[in-house]
């Protein structure tokens, strides 16, 4: 099972950027591409109601809502993302 869930759209540059952060951290994620699934619009509506955020990416770590690309990088910068992910994480992203 994956600790990181990314609600995404296949063409979204912010989604690619947030996936790149997790790849650089060597953290596996599961990405659901809302624009290529029949239920994408319904899922996006539920996400908007649950998280007050309609945009993608919409990132969850171990069930905790993080937010979009900017919020996820912010959580990385302040260390709260690594804390949520647990120990043994690489703290410097690869360029």
- Positions that interact with ligand GSH (CB under 6 A): 9, 12-14, 54-57, 68-70
Rounded to whole angstroms, the Cα distance separating 69 from 9 reads: 13
Count each helix (H run) and each strand (E run) in the chain, helices first. Answer: 4, 4
State which residue, 26 or 54, has the beta carbon closest to ligand GSH.
54
Which residue, 39 or 86, has its beta carbon nearer to ligand GSH?
A: 39
Residues contacting residue 89 through CB under 8 Å, at least 6 positions apart: 25, 26, 27, 82
Residue of 10, 2, 21, 11 whose CA lies nearest to 76 = 21
Cβ nearer to ligand GSH, comparing 19 with 57: 57
Least distance (Å) from ligand GSH to the CB of residue 87?
27
DSSP code at position 5: E
Cβ 23 to ligand GSH shortest distance, Å? 17
Residue 42: CB minimum distance to ligand GSH, A: 13
CB closer to ligand GSH out of 54 and 83: 54
């Amino acid at each position: 099972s994956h600790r990181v869930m990314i609600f995404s759209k296949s063409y979204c540059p912010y989604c690619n950027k947030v996936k790149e952060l997790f790849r650089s951290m060597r953290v596996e994620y599961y990405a659901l591409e809302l624009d290529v699934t029949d239920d994408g619009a319904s899922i996006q509506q539920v996400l908007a109601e649950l998280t007050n955020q309609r945009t993608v990416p919409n990132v969850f770590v171990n069930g905790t809502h993080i937010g979009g690309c900017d919020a996820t990088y912010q959580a990385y910068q302040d260390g709260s993302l690594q804390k949520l992910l647990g120990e043994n994480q690489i703290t410097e992203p690869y360029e």
